[in-house]
Structure 1
Amino acid sequence: MKEILVNLQSRLDEIFTHLHEHAEVSWQEYQTTNFIAKLLKEAGMKPQLFEDMTGLYVDIGKGTPKVGFRTDIDALWQEVDGVFKANHSCGHDGHMTMAIGTALVLKEMEANLAGAVRILFQPAEEKAAGARAFVEKGVIDDLDYLFGVHVRPLKELQDGTYAPALYHGAARLFTGSIIGEEAHGARPELGINAIEVGAAIVDGLQKIWTDPNVSASVKMTQFNAGGTSTNIIPGKATFSIDSRAQTNEVMDAITAGIKRVIASVEVMYGAKVDLQVDANIVAALVNDEAMEHMRNAIIDVVGESACALPVVTPGGEDFHFYTYDRPNLKATMLGLGCGVTPGLHHPDMTFNRERLLTGVKIITKAISRAL
């Protein structure tokens, strides 16, 4: 594999620069999909695209793929230097670069592979929808193993260290509306004040108790009510709730608690409260066997001193829907310690791009071990 990797660093730099400069948001990754497909075709591979959505996958080796590697391909929409734009501030440009690099290396090794590998270029991770779309397409049905990767901030991993697993938390985001009754400010008894109903919901959320040994939080993050007149009691409001938990079981307990709060507030005030789930991300379900393959791959490439412990992080990742929906799938994510600063999702996020080649080496080793 050494000969294959000699000239790969400069190639990865070119690929990363293009992907970084041509970021696209979820479900609109058309140029990204076509760029990756063209690059893979030029390397002698046969990428498979979809007629009804962005994203693609490619198989390398003979037979039915049993080992897979997944990357996300979408970007965030955020303000950068005063202008709103698609921006790869979550590292997906780096993830794609490593996935392409891994595909190029595996293609060169194809004659010596012990089986077939599938590389997945998944859209809409930021919408927590792409993984389930791939599950529904049957893309992972034949896989026994699935690996992923995510760049990590300095507070989690030092530059040049690598973790064999990422234990992301669960996140569930709700939006709701309150329908009360407007009234004159002088006659509050004739109305149902949507602001007071919202305040009662906030108070109720603070009384949801879960396992204290598991990190969790639930809080209202948006609330809008009333107009420009200060003497009208508002009858309508909209709100958002952000809930987080380190395990899926605690997230389910929080969700049940939110529903109890809403039901009791409706009875207390005689208001109607509509609630819906806008986004749902499950917590990591890491397979020990897959994690061991990744741990040994890290040690093979960079040595035991650079192999960190698995990272427990409150952030979310829709990668974990693969194992949530397919419990028999053996999966883990490589945590790439590459000096991410100032932090993930910061508009000026940057990291040490030299670690991308190391990531390719570790991922290729993990895939070879799983095969």
Structure 2
Amino acid sequence: MINQKLKEAFQEYKEELTDLRRQLHSAPELSWEEYKTTDFVCSYLDELGITYRRTEPTGVIAEIKGGKPGKTVALRGDMDALSVEELNKDLPYTSIEEGKMHACGHDAHTAMLMVAAKALNEIKDELPGNVRLLFQPAEEVAQGAKALVDQRAVEGVDNVFGIHIWSQMPTHKVSCTPGPSFASADLFKVTFKGKGGHGAMPQDCIDTAIVASSFVMNVQSVVSRTIDPQQGAVLTVGKMVVGTRFNVIAENAVIEGTVRCFDPLVRDHIEAQLTHYAKNVAAVYGAVAQVEYTRGTQAVINDEESALLVQHVAAKAFGEDVIHHEKPTMGGEDFSFYLDEVPGSFALVGSGNPEKDTEWAHHHGKFNIDEDALSTGAELYAQYAWAFLNRN
């Protein structure tokens, strides 16, 4: 099940792996702007002699052809950074791009997949099948995976596997539980239209500040009073823009937020109820509501057979004590678009270490990883591919 040559390779490449991650971390690029990162990956693959093709406008799909016939397994690592100002100014590899940083670990994912490719390429003659490498752009805007699927990323693929570094778990721990892992992530925008006027003459107006406030307070009961309490769901209003001046009654109000859940039926229900609440709250005050509901990522549901294989591989490669069972998160992940096409699973690799100050939340300006986790992630990529292709 575990390839000893791979295990030895990751000990040898530990320093290179750290260096690759730091180079990526210092030069972050936002979603759909990963041109230099794409070039960086391609140059590395050129050195290894691994064939690849660039995807549009950014990203790379590479393939390691095994020396024996067999199936094809895909490994995915995302590449994009966030519009977050890095607060770790004392790091020797801090971001050189103002207002941009790798605040979610995608630099680690890319580096881990690069070195996993190197190790797998060295044993390609022994591989009974092929390994496809998906260096994916634009995960943070939930568009990159769908774009790669549209560009035939999983055509002919039998299984897909991805990893996310996770600061909420201790370093080296591995979690991959069958069933729900990440929630679906949708966006909504509600626009209320009332009647503006002088702040001293409310009797002549329809105040959308009142309408919007009422909606924000009441819409929470969609989750608390219309959904089974045992079903996970979150409805968050994150932005409200109302009015133009202190003494002018607001004619317009715009509210934006997000909906997270795991069950497709719950998702449908929330979308319908959100529209129902908006229009009826508006009607109470004589206003008009327009609702835009945009479906983002699907829920990430780990295939049972694949998830159990990840657990088995991790236990054999690193010891039984690395297995961790992290609860499903309401965070979103566009890895779900691959799982819509082929079976597979998505694992979390812990990188939280209080002694190294790496327990900050993802997307925070102080986010960083314990680089000891890099070898765990890189080897898990490779050993999973080896184990899947060698299954009877």
TM-score (norm 2): 0.87
Please, which of 129, 137, 141 is the counterpart of residue 123 of structure 1? Answer: 137
Q: Does 1:225 align with 2:242?
A: yes
Deviations 1:138-167 (A, max 9, x none): 21122111000011123xx22221112471
Please, which of 34, 38, 43 is the counterpart of residue 38 of structure 1? Answer: 43
Deviations 1:276-329 (A, max 9, x none): 235622211110111121111101111112112254222111111222x32xx1
2:343 corresponds in structure 1 to 330
What is the identity, as a one-letter code, of the residue corresponding to 2:18?
D
1:80 corresponds in structure 2 to 86
Q: Does 1:114 align with 2:114?
A: no
Q: How far apart are 1:3 and its partner, in Å?
A: 4.5
2:52 corresponds in structure 1 to 47
1:307 corresponds in structure 2 to 323
In 2, distance between residues paired with 1:184 and 1:61?
Answer: 72
- Is contact 2:84–2:364 with CA below 8 Å preserved after alignment? no
Q: How far apart are 1:368 and its partner, in Å?
A: 1.2
Tell me the C-alpha RMSD between the 2 structures: 2.0
Matches within 5 A, 1:155-170: 157-165=169-177, 167-170=181-184
In 2, distance between residues paired with 1:259 and 1:98?
Answer: 43
Q: How far apart are 1:333 and its partner, in Å?
A: 1.2
What is the identity, as a one-letter code, of the residue corresponding to 2:253?
A
2:335 partner SS: helix
Matches within 5 A, 1:1-371: 1=5, 2-50=7-55, 52-62=56-66, 66-81=72-87, 84-154=98-168, 157-165=169-177, 167-208=181-222, 209-230=226-247, 232-277=248-293, 280-323=296-339, 325-326=340-341, 329-339=342-352, 340-371=358-389
Q: 1:276 to 1:289 in 2, by over 3 A?
A: same
What is the identity, as a one-letter code, of the residue corresponding to 1:211?
D
- Is contact 2:190–2:278 with CA below 8 Å preserved after alignment? no
Gaps of at least 5 residues in structure 1 are none
What is the identity, as a one-letter code, of the residue corresponding to 1:291?
A
Deviations 1:159-187 (A, max 9, x none): 22111247112222222322211123343
Q: 1:203 to 1:346 in 2, by over 3 A?
A: closer
Q: 1:54 to 1:227 in 2, by over 3 A?
A: same
Q: 1:264 to 1:27 in 2, by over 3 A?
A: same
Deviations 1:342-368 (A, max 9, x none): 221111112211221122222211111
In 2, distance between residues paired with 1:189 and 1:64?
Answer: 76
Gaps of at least 5 residues in structure 2 are 90-96, 353-357
Q: How far apart are 1:89 and its partner, in Å?
A: 0.9
1:181 partner SS: coil
What is the identity, as a one-letter code, of the residue corresponding to 1:99?
L
Deviations 1:49-102 (A, max 9, x none): 02x310011000147862101111000101234995221110001111111111
- Identity percentage over the alignment? 29
Q: How far apart are 1:246 and its partner, in Å?
A: 3.6
Deviations 1:92-117 (A, max 9, x none): 01111111111111110110001011
Q: Flag as ranges the 4+ runs of structure 1 deviating above 6 A.
A: none
Q: How far apart are 1:48 and its partner, in Å?
A: 0.7
- Is contact 2:166–2:351 with CA below 8 Å preserved after alignment? yes
In 1, distance between residues paired with 2:251 and 2:262?
Answer: 36
Pick which of 247-256 and 234-243 moved more.
Answer: 247-256
In 2, distance between residues paired with 1:210 and 1:301?
Answer: 42
In 1, distance between residues paired with 2:204 and 2:116?
Answer: 67
In 1, distance between residues paired with 2:44 and 2:188?
Answer: 40
What is the identity, as a one-letter code, of the residue corresponding to 1:59?
E
Task: Provide the aligned length of Structure 1 versus Structure 2.
Answer: 364
In 2, distance between residues paired with 1:144 and 1:310?
Answer: 26
- Is contact 1:113–1:368 with CA below 8 Å preserved after alignment? yes
- Is contact 2:84–2:103 with CA below 8 Å preserved after alignment? no
What is the identity, as a one-letter code, of the residue corresponding to 1:34?
D
